[in-house]
Structure formats: structure tokens, C-alpha cells
Amino acid sequence: MGLWLRSVPRLRAPFLPASAPRLALGNRRVFLEEEPRQRGFLLRRTLSSGGVKWLWPIDRESLSFHLVHHHGTRMGLYLMTLNSVNPLNTEDVERALFHLQRKNPALRVDFRLRENVWWFYEQDGNKVDFKMLSEGTSSSDEIQRMCETGFRDGATWKFRMIPRGKETPSVMPEVKGDFSYQYHFIMASHHALSDGLSASLMAKQVVELLNDVILGRHINDKTTSQFIQREELCEIESRIMKKLEGDPQRHDYVKQTMPLSTPLFLQAFPRPSVDQVTTRHLSRIIDSDVTQKFEKQCKSHGVTINSAFSAVINTAIVSLMQKSGISQQSYQIAGNQVVNMLRYLKQTPRDAMGGYGLLLSHISRVTNDRANNFWEYAKEVNRELREGLTSELPLEQKMARLMAQPNLVEEWAQKPPPIVHDYGITNVGHFPMPERHSDDQVLVTDVASVAMVHKYIHMLLFLVYTFRGRCRFSLSYATDYIADDTAILLADEVISVYRKVSEGNGK
């Protein structure tokens, strides 16, 4: 069954007792009933209000992040490898994070119930959640620990550092002599306060501030980002909903742009049986010369890197279908594109931080001749994605889902919908790097981006970026949908297709 069970003229709140926690949504309020084991925790958070600066009632989008975070999912993390001239001490890192918090208001924001309505609030003097862990701690295990409890402790940003020792090999051996001490630095943030792009800018700023602290430079508290109310987004969503209500033909078209069936990928690779559902991750790095060739091909064919990479994934999936014995005239691949909704917000400043991710469902029908002529196919994907973005299709799809499922926020948090996309993809482009200085004490030598996707709308998510001239991607996958061997098989096939088409080959 899909989402299109019914259509309603407006969002409606479920009928719950008057004592249930409420969320203010403009002139509406959504009543939320928390799980019994959570309710005591949530209410305890309202008891202390000393030094609190109330901001504004939480919006629907932010609440959706908050509820699913309670289930340990939909979180994004960066794992940076830092190399330093001298051993790093806890006090210097804490000082750098203190300044990061002073410069970025979103790092001081949390959620609290106020007269049974969820609000954003800011509390000056909050200490950043940072821990220096012992050498040898598993980074992957620590990522799981950071995510499994969500952000229930009030810390909406979490930072961890793990010493790796001087003997640990470096992906940049040319700097190991001068920067011989190595660390893993993990950063996780609440998605209502930071998306992938803004979090990458925070990661960059941490390293800049750490260098300043170690060198004893003066650091001012001038803000470098804003955390603002999303009134413009609410106005746009209201306009889109009225448009769909008044144009049934367009509404029907929008619904047809979103898949309803089981992903094709699962036909060849059935779901595994697992005792515990979680997310696992694997990463791949593509050589700089191949990356440059791929980017050159994109430019010569007038295709964005994201469109071309999506076409690579689709081609790789079709190849695996064929190798598994599934032979068809055409293959329908459903991808979920993560785009930045700031492109639609004209009055919102570009330095605004928050959860500005937006999903664009894209259904691509790949015939054998398209698969054999890759760059012509990539042009088609590029055209379809461009037309979708230009026509506000991501916003239309979002509002159409809400019109069909008014209580979507609460329902998805309690019971995630059936998976209907073969994959999701998010691309932050070039990972921002601090400007290099001759007296630098700390360098970023590697970075990995991962996400928790289980119990939500993705069974696997490609996180794509370029770092120091090399294309990299992480594949985060839900263990109850994708087996480890299957994830490796897909990642390797993506690399194979990427290399071939970088040479201009059609296959």
C-alpha cells in the first residue's frame, strides 16, 4: 500500500487528551502523545527554566527530526581525521568548541516544553558535549553510541575525539613527518539545527579555532551564522498546498512522480534477517586523476556532478540486476535526492543554520540503450532533475504527502513508512577546508560523512563529496534491508561504472 489513501483539504490534528504535549504550527496546534517511557523524560526537561531565553514554538519540520532522533535515526555525522604537530589536550579543544558555540547561536539552542507546547530555547552558558576518549576506542562503535540515545540529554551537538597514536598510517603520508600526531574527531548535530552543508562549515570552523587557540591568537565572539524562525518556509508551504488543492490535475501529476512499489533493488537482493536493526557504513575513495576526468566529462556534456553521479548509481543498479539474472526491456529506479530548500527561500539569509534539507523523488526508467549510452542518459537525468527543482516539485511532493497523511510527523516517528526508493543521495560538493597557513598546528587529512538511516525512509543513502581533489562517497545502509555483502557489491559496481564513464565510455 502506498501513501495515497485519501486526500484532505487541510492538515488535521489527531484527537488526543488535553494533557498531551502540543506543538504550535502557526495558527494550528498538533497534539502529540509520547511513548510512556519517554514522557517522564520529556516533562522533566521543563522543570528548570533559569537563564532560559525562549525563542519561538517549534515548527513541524523540526519536530519530525526531534521525534525520529529519539529512535536513534536520521542523524548525520562527520568523522574527521586530524593530524597535529604536538599532542592535543582536552582544554584546547574545549576552548575551541566554546568559541564555536559563541559564534553560532544554533549551538546554544535546545528544545523544551513550555505549558505543554514545544519551544526552541537558548540557554547561555551551556557546556558543549565533548569527550576526549582513550586511544584505541572504535570510531564506528562510538558513532553508534552517540546516536542510539538520540538527543534526549539536552545536548543537541556532540563532539568526540579519539587519539590514534604516532604510528597510525596517514592518508596524507607527506605531512606525517611534521604533523605526526593523529586523532579522529566525530561531530554529530541535531538535524533541526544543522544540515549537512552547515555542519561541514562548523567542522571547518572547529579546526580554524583550534589552530587559533593553540597559537594564542585573539578570538572575537562575532557571529558567523544565524538561527532564525522559518516563517518564509511556512508561507511557501501554505501557498503550495493551496495550489494543489485548487489544481487537481497538478496534484495528480505530483503524486505520480513518487514511487509506491517495492524498490527494484530488493527483487535481486531480498531483505536479510537480522536480530537487531541498525545502520552500517562503508566508504570509497576515487583517485584524483579519475575524479578530474569525471568532472571534465560532466562539464563537456553540460551535466552537474550530482546528476551524473545519480546516473552512475542507476546504471550500477541496472548492471547488478542483469548480473543477477533479472532481464527486462527497461528498469524503473527510484532515487530520493536531498536538496537544499534555501534555494526557494528568497528572504532567508544564506548564513541561516537549521534543517534545510528537502527531498525530491526521482523515478528514472533505464532502458538497455540508455544504459549503453551513459552520457546521453546522464543528460536526461540532469534535465529531469533541473525541471523538478525549477518547478518547485520537491515542495509539492512534500505537501502532497502531508495532504494524504496529515499526521505524518507523529506516524512516521512511531512506525516508519514502507521503503519505496532504491536509494537516497546527498551531495555537499567540495568539503570546505580551512585556509592553509605556514604556522598551522592542526590539519584535516581525511573526512568521512555518514548518516543513520534505519527505521526511516531510506534503506541506503549515498553521501557524496569531494575532499582534496578526490571524489569520496559513504554508503550508509539499514541492516534490515541491505546485507553487508550486498552493500559492498553495490559500492564496488558504482566505482566500476564511475571509472568507465570518466574515460568517456558509454558503458
> For the segment 8-53, what is each residue's pLDDT rounded down to a tens digit?
233 333 222 333 343 433 333 343 433 333 333 332 333 334 578 9
What is the Cα–Cα distance from 471 to 366, expressed in whole angstroms? 25
Secondary structure class of 13 (helix, strand, coil): coil
Q: Which amino acid is at 352?
A: A
DSSP state string for 275-290: SS--EEEEEEE--HHH
What is the Cα–Cα distance from 201 to 430, expressed in whole angstroms? 11
User: Which regions of the chain are under pLDDT 50?
Assistant: 1-49, 507
What is the Cα–Cα distance from 221 to 100, expressed in whole angstroms? 9
pLDDT at 505: 65
Q: Which amino acid is at 320?
A: L
Q: Three cell numbers at 389?
A: 527543482
pLDDT at 389: 97
pLDDT single digits (tens) 91-118: 999 999 999 999 999 999 998 889 888 8
Q: Which amino acid is at 456?
A: Y
What is the Cα–Cα distance from 75 to 81, expressed in whole angstroms? 20
The alpha carbon of residue 114 and the mean position of all alpha carbons in its chain are separated, in whole angstroms, by 29
Q: Give the Cα-Cα-Cα angle 67, 69, 75 (nearest 5 degrees).
A: 140
List, in sequence order, every residue forming a beta bridge with 57; answer none if it has no partner. 119
What is the Cα–Cα distance from 301 to 317, expressed in whole angstroms? 22
| Percent over 70 (pLDDT), the chain | 89
What is the Cα–Cα distance from 157 to 128, expressed in whole angstroms? 7
DSSP state string for 376-393: HHHHHHHHHHHHHHHTTH
Residue with cell 586523532: 183
- The answer to whether the 34-215 and 231-259+268-344+356-432+443-502 domains have the same CATH topology is yes
Instruction: State the pTM of this model.
Output: 0.88
| Percent over 90 (pLDDT), the chain | 71
Would you say how long the chain is, in residues?
Answer: 507
Is domain 231-259+268-344+356-432+443-502 classified as CATH 3.30.559.30?
yes
Q: Which residues contact 408 (CB under 8 A, 6 or more apart)?
A: 64, 401, 402
DSSP state string for 217-257: ---------B----HHHHHHHHHHHHHHHH-HHHHHHHHHT
Domains of the chain by residue range: 34-215, 231-259+268-344+356-432+443-502
Secondary structure class of 157 (helix, strand, coil): strand
pLDDT at 71: 82
pLDDT at 5: 29
DSSP state of 422: S
The fold for domain 34-215 equals: Chloramphenicol Acetyltransferase (3.30.559)
